[in-house]
Amino acid sequence: MRVKSDGPQLISAMIQRYLGVDCSVLMGANIAKDIAAEQLSEAVIGYNNLPNAKIWKRLFERSYFMVEMVPDVVGAEMCGTLKNIVALAAGMVDGLGAGERACVRVCVCVCHTEWCVCVSVSVCVCVCVSGTLRFAHGLLHYRA
């Protein structure tokens, strides 16, 4: 995502506009060396065109790399961006030596259809891939 004075611009939308082609997105909380070592990983393909998404899924999916598909390029790209922001914040908290409890306050919880950013131990803000916002009390979706 690129942010300009007139607001955020999705990279996928820029590709579609400038190249005139369908653009899906692949998002996931993965580390390249872990995938290369065939450690269990997962990602989501956000798509507008289902036949194209199925091609991408066949290309990327492996026994150690699970791929889910959602019909929402914008939601998937926004959640991927949010994940990166929260990962930076969690890294800073960890780098400051604030401890695991502080990291719980800055966590990303991934389910197949939503991203949850826990802003405190008692409240999670959940952004569904469709872009709707809801609140969940407690760490209902927390995965260590």
What's the rounded Cα separation, in Å, for the pair 51 and 90? Answer: 37
- The token pair at 108 is 């990303």
Q: pLDDT band at residue 104, thresholds of 50, 70 and 90?
A: low
Q: Considering its fold, how many domains does the chain have in total?
A: 2
Q: Is the pLDDT of residue 113 over 50?
A: no
- The token pair at 144 is 């260590």
User: Could you tell me if 68 and 14 lie in one domain?
Assistant: yes
Instruction: Answer whether 0.75 is exceeded by the pTM.
Output: no
| Cα-Cα-Cα-Cα dihedral sign, residues 140, 70, 34, 99 | negative
Catalytic, out of 4, 54, 57, 83: 83
First vs last C-alpha separation in the chain? 28
* CA angle (84 as vertex; 82, 86 as ends), nearest 5: 70
Q: Is 57 a catalytic residue?
A: no
More reliable by pLDDT, 49 or 6? 49
User: Could you tell me if 52 and 88 lie in one domain?
Assistant: no
- The token pair at 92 is 């800073």
Q: 6: domain range?
A: 2-73
Look-up of token digits 């966590």: 107
Instruction: Give the domain-ending residue among 73, 107, 129.
Output: 73
The arithmetic mean of pLDDT across residues 48-65, rounded, is 96
User: Could you tell me if 98 and 57 lie in one domain?
Assistant: no
Q: pLDDT band at residue 66, thresholds of 50, 70 and 90?
A: very high
Per the domain annotation, does 142 fall within a domain? no
Q: What are residue 111's phi and psi, to 5 degrees?
A: -115, 175
